[in-house]
Amino acid sequence: MVSGVLGETGQLLTGKSQAKRPEGGDPLDWLLPLFWAGCIFLLSTSVFSAAQTSRIIVPLLHWLMPTASHRTIVTLHAVIRKAAHVSEYAVLFLLLVRGPLRGRPVFALAICAAYAMLDEGHQMLVPSRTPALHDVALDFSGALAASLVMAVTAPAKD
């Protein structure tokens, strides 16, 4: 159990010195963002191509909506795949700004944009994947949406 009192800023004061983060940050702060970037890389392989994901998503959609037309199911499969682009990069942005790039959201957005381009470049080398610039835009829109949500929900500074 942690005991202590709240300071003026609302932080818990435990009696231990509150060490400031070193200027360069802790290298371990990069662990989660790098892990997530690896997950994004894996999602860009042939294992997660549209043909492969349809083997799971399409039957699931048929089960959830047995009266839906084939066109509806195919459209929903595409929407789910595109939503994955947005959510992957929203998570990447959040991991960056809550970790190694705390206080530097513009730099985190730049890294997300660069990684989105690298990701599509990787897909150029995967025969069953189709790289597309609009996917880079979707990826970046996820990071941008996460940054806007953070900005809107951030506590007001006095």
pTM summary value: 0.79
User: Is 8 part of any domain?
Assistant: no
Q: Is residue 11 part of a domain?
A: no
pLDDT at position 4: 47
Has residue 100 been placed in a domain? Answer: yes
Average pLDDT, rounded, for the chain: 85
Q: Is residue 2 part of a domain?
A: no
Number of domains in the chain: 1
Q: C-alpha dihedral over 142, 60, 44, 104, to 10 degrees?
A: 20
Predicted local confidence at residue 104, as pLDDT? 95
CA gap 41, 118 in Å, rounded: 9
Residues in Cβ contact with 89 at an 8 Å cutoff, skipping those fewer than 6 apart: 40, 112, 115, 116, 139, 140, 141, 142, 143, 146
pLDDT in tens, 59-70: 999 999 999 999
Q: Does the residue 126 lie in any domain? A: yes
Q: Is residue 129 part of a domain?
A: yes
In a domain, 121, yes or no: yes
Is residue 31 domain-resident? yes
Give the per-residue pLDDT at 13: 47
Give the residue numbers spanning the domain of 116: 27-152
User: Quick one: average pLDDT of 30-57?
Assistant: 91
